Amino acid sequence: MHVHSTSDVVVHMAHEEPIESAPPQGSYFDIEIPEGVDAAFLAALPVEIREEVLRDYSRQQRAQRLARSTGIGDDSGAQSAGGSGNDLQPLDPEFLSALPPDLQDEIIAQHERSIRLANERQNAIVDDAAAVIESLPPTLRAQVLADAHESVLQVLPQNVVAEARRLRANFEHQVLMRLARLLAPGRFRQTARSNQNSFGINVPFGTLAGNTNLATNIVKELFDRNSIIVIVILFFVDPSRLHIQRLQKLVRSMCLHSKTCEFMIWCLLAVFNELDASANDYEELVGLSAGFIDSISVNCGHMQFERAIKFVSEQGKVKIHPLAAINVARYILETLINLAKAFPGQFLPVRLRKNVSSDEPVIHDTVPFSQFWQDVYKYVINFCKIIRFESYPLLMTNSDQMHIFKILMDGKLSDDGLTAGRLLLLEALRALTPYVANFVNSLLITSVETLGNRLLRLIKLFIKELEEVPFGDETILAESSDQPSTSRFIFILMRIFQWSLHYSEFTNFFQARKFVASYHSEKLSSLRNFTVIISFQKDGSLSSALAGLDPLWEATSICLKRLERAGTHAALVLQPTAEAFFIVHASAVCDIELARQHEHPDAQKLIHFTERHRNVINQVLRQNGHTFIESPFSALLHIPKLLDFDVKRKYFLRQIQRMEDRARSDSIGIRVRRSHLFSDSFRELFRLRGPEWKSRFYVVFEGEEGQDAGGLLREWFSIITREIFNPNYALFLTAPGDRVTYMINKSSHINPEHLDYFKFVGRIIAKAIYEDKQLDCYFTRAFYKHILSIPVRTLDLESEDPSFHKSLEFLLTNPVEDFGTDLTFSLEVEEFGERKLRELKENGASIIVTDGNKEEYVKLVSQMKMTGSINQQLKAFLDGFYEIIPKDLISIFNEQELELLISGLPNFDIDDLFANTDYKSYSKSSPQIQWFWKALRSFEDEDRAKFLQFVTGTSKVPLQGFASLEGMNGIQKFSIHLDSRSSDRLPTAHTCFNQLDLPQYESYEKLRDMLLLAVRECTEGFGFA
């Protein structure tokens, strides 16, 4: 009996013909029978042998597949080496044999798939390259195929490769023919002199090259010899600092001109001739100074640099650094080779470039190469002398120009002449050299100081005359009260001059009168105009350059104060001087931050001057509001608190008008139902973008006839303002402190669309301001501050949360231990119905409040209390508001003025307020009370409105009069309490109680001034704040 191995059995099964009567494959067993195995044969084997046979068969199949995969991988690698682009590596048989069978199958299948995809990509690349070449124009196609690399040709079809080789052979043949034509004496053309010359007869060698490959003289010569020398020296510059290929292209372009080409070649050869003569003792040689050539250096290693060129003598003897010589030699040879290819005839001797029969003499260039270095040295030395000469300040005076300058500086020109002279000087200063401009600038400063001193003498004379005028009972103002403003001003001045003439014995009085009476004073206008010119030219502080004018500014301030007694119009005569003062000092205000303005001396002077003459300056701006932004007073926009509300409002509306002119578009209609006005308006307008809100609106009420000529829009604003505060929308709440103003409802989240509504409300209020429409709505002081990006203060919390404000006041006035609990720098706020702990500062939850840091705690907790729980509502409102009115434009107002801008100036009856006022520790007959009411009646409408805001928190006047004035505890009349502390304190107010604390002032003037200061500056905080 013969015993067969399992491998023999497997081979037998693979080659033996299956038995016809064998049952279907896989029907005997529950196992899967591989393809190619005879099932009947397996059925005759024992179970143990059968399993071993199947394992050996599977192992043999994997080995065969592995061999096939390895062969494919080897072929792929060979193709990759040949440039086919397939970089797949063959599988390692040893690695595969160590893996489990199922993992072997998976890896082999993945490798086969990768090979198949790579072959497909390779075929696609070949097809793409052939397609691109086929799409090229014939000329470009021929050039590409002729220049193609062998690796590129291997991936192209055979017909394209054959075409490329044919083109390359043609190109090589043309090159050979061109070279043969260059060296042949005269085979390809006749001579220029005679048509009878046969091949090679009477034609000098090189005639063809010398005549057809020369640079031409038709091209214009652009470079002189000195310029060419400098360009040649550039070959010594370090390649890291100069693009040598661009320099070589420049040289080739320059050589299009024949003479330039000859000189360039000679210079290059002169440099190359010197390179091999570099001395070994180069470092010991002491070179002469050679200007900018000394800055050309060579890196010797370890950050050591030495001069590349040294001139040993003034005769041009030169030594070149050995390290520099290597690179320069290579660059010059490359350049000469390029020139030889482009202009081969230029390298032939001059005799060979000329016809022997020519009568022109043959030019022999016998200039030695050493002459090049002599020319270099002479040029550099002369150039350095010119540079030093240019550094000397030169000034030539022209009599005509000086005459014009003296006329301009004399101060006797009209306004038109001054304007023209100012433009002339500005253009001249821009065109002149810096030294001449500085000279003219010094003349301007001297002239301004001289003119200022002349004006100072006149102002002092006028002040002396004003001191002798008996103004006592202001009879002049009474007598001229029915005159127009300009006539009244002239009348007052004439009466002053008449009395001055009676008391004064000054001989030059009429000169002073002429100076004062002229509103467009020539001298003052000259001072103003030329300080403007100096302000454009002076680099440093203009006030320091014109420090000599400080006495003039002081005298002007004194004179303005005296003239204010006759009315603000009388002081307008010194407007040009005030403008000159602003020009000198305004730069400090415009260039520094608001927080640092009080630190700069010029800013301090300007602020002090404006505060002292606020009425006069604001009166100037009222009369010249249309030129405010172009005037020197525009610097006050950086200190807006010094401007009156009406001045700022006029400027604001003018800027809005400019925005409207730029954004002019079609009108937008609003079709609404009166019963659903808010929701319909929201539906109609919320889809509009910010710029579209600046268009004109017209309103159509459904079911009503009539065209909107402005009345329906005002009615729409009035109705929608009431709807904004409708409790059903849950957007705003009445402030508990005064029960009049509104604040954002922190529980507005119960309305799912509340954020969209807040953005819509922000747009509505901004649109009303944009259209200059007053709204009957009043908000808390903190809300206005949010719009203006002003930090809220503890005092603002009183109207929104009186009890919390009272607890903070107790904390500030008592030790922390008396508060009864441990406080940290954190606060629990409610946001969208969730209570969250917010830290007031970093790691605030672990910082204990003490007597030392409780003021900081009160400040931070007040800000968090008024903003923490309404952050998202507030952001939505401000996003809508700023889409229509820019943030930087609205910020010129304070919170009081913003309320007046939205709601308008109130018109309240002072007699009604007087009849509904209570007193504590005062009586109606007290001098301070009588002075108080007299001062209040003397206030302008704007200051009266601010007073009402100061004591009640809002400018809203009760509909039923001041008898119905609301307070924290219901109806609460206005009351005046005695402040028994120092009379140097400002009045303080408690808006929740409509209470004014008035100190016992000694005079009416002091009471009025202190009350007016408190009313105007209350945004800075007084009393508890």
Q: What are the backbone angles phi and psi of residue 734, rounded to the nearest 5°?
A: -75, 130
Tokens of 619: 């009166």
Dihedral sign, Cα of residue 261, residue 265, residue 271, residue 272: positive
For the residues of 244-295, what is the DSSP string, one character each?
HHHHHHHHHHHTTBHHHHHHHHHHHHHHHHHHTT--TTGGG--PBP-GGGGG
Helices 258-275 and 370-391 pack at an angle, to 10 degrees, of: 100
Respond yes or no: is residue 300 known to be catalytic. Answer: no
* Average pLDDT per block of 10 residues along the chain, 1025 residues long: 42 41 46 69 76 75 64 46 50 71 76 72 59 79 79 79 83 71 47 38 41 64 85 85 86 87 89 72 60 74 74 71 84 90 80 50 61 79 64 60 68 66 67 69 75 79 73 38 32 30 30 40 50 48 75 85 72 76 74 59 84 86 75 82 89 87 76 89 88 86 72 85 90 86 89 91 93 88 92 86 87 82 83 79 87 88 86 93 92 90 84 89 90 90 86 80 80 88 86 87 90 75 37
3-state helix, strand, coil in the chain (%, to 5): 60, 5, 30
Radius of gyration of the chain (CA): 49
With tokens 């105007």, the residue in question is: 1016
Spatial CA neighbour of 6 closest among 80, 85, 60? 60
Residue 862 and residue 796 in contact, taking contact as beta carbons nearer than 8 Å: yes
Are 932 and 1002 a contacting pair, CB within 8 Å? no
With H, G, I as helix, E, B as strand and everything else as coil, classify residue 731. Answer: coil
Tell me, what's the pLDDT at 779?
92
Cα torsion 796, 797, 801, 803: sign: negative
β-bridge mates for residue 743, sequence order: 733
Q: How does DSSP assign 534-601, residue by residue?
A: HHHH--S-HHHHTGGGHHHHHHHHHHHHHHGGG-TTGGGGGHHHHHHHHHHHHHHHHHS-GGGGGGSH
> Tokens representing 87?
């970089």
Strand runs labelled E in 284-383: 297-299, 305-307, 309-311, 318-320
**3-state class of 874 per DSSP?**
helix
Show Cβ contacts of residue 320 under 8 Å, excluding neighbours closer than 6 positions.
236, 274, 275, 277, 278, 308, 309, 310, 328
Q: Which residues touch 726 (CB under 8 Å, ≥6 apart)?
A: 678
Q: What is the rounded CA–CA span in Å between residue 429 and residue 535?
A: 12
Residue among 652, 609, 654 nearest 633 (CA) = 609
Which is the catalytic residue, given 255, 261, 559, 992? Answer: 992
Going by C-beta distance under 8 Å and a sequence separation of 6 or more, which residues neighbour residue 1023? Answer: 795, 988, 989, 990, 997
| CB neighbours of residue 427 within 10 Å | 10
Report which of 114, 94, 109, 167 is spatially closest to residue 136, judged by C-alpha positions.
Answer: 167
- Partnered with residue 734 across adjacent β-strands are 742
User: How wide is the angle at C-alpha 981 spanned by C-alphas 977 and 984, nearest 5°?
Assistant: 105
Measured CA to CA, the distance from residue 97 to residue 107 in angstroms comes to 12
Residue type, 233: I
Specify whether the CB–CB gap between 552 and 452 falls below 8 A.
yes
d(CA 214, CA 257) in angstroms, rounded, equals 9
Burial class (CB within 10 angstroms; exposed 0-12, middle 13-18, buried 19+) of 982 = exposed
Give Cα separations from 651 to 589, 628, 641, 892, 1017 (angstroms). Answer: 19, 8, 14, 10, 21
pLDDT at 14: 42
Compute the distance between CA of residue 445 and CA of residue 542 in angstroms, rounded to an integer: 10
Nearest to 968 by CA among 985, 997, 992, 1003: 992
Q: Which helix (H) or strand (E) holds 919?
A: strand 917-920
Which residues 6+ apart lie within 8 Å of 419 measured at CB?
A: 529
> What is the residue whose two structure tokens read 């009388």?
570
Rounded CA separation 772/210 (Å) = 88
CA atoms within 13 A on the CB side of 982: 4
**Does the pTM of the predicted model rise above 0.85?**
no
Which residue, chain included where needed, has tokens 């006029």? 650
CB 322 within 8 A of CB 281: no
- Confidence at residue 73, expressed as pLDDT on a 0 to 100 scale: 47
The pLDDT value given to residue 454:
78
- DSSP secondary structure string, 933-982? HHHHHHS-HHHHHHHHHHHHSS-PPPTT-GGG-EETTEE--EEEEEE-S-
Biggest distance spanned by C-alpha atoms of the chain: 164
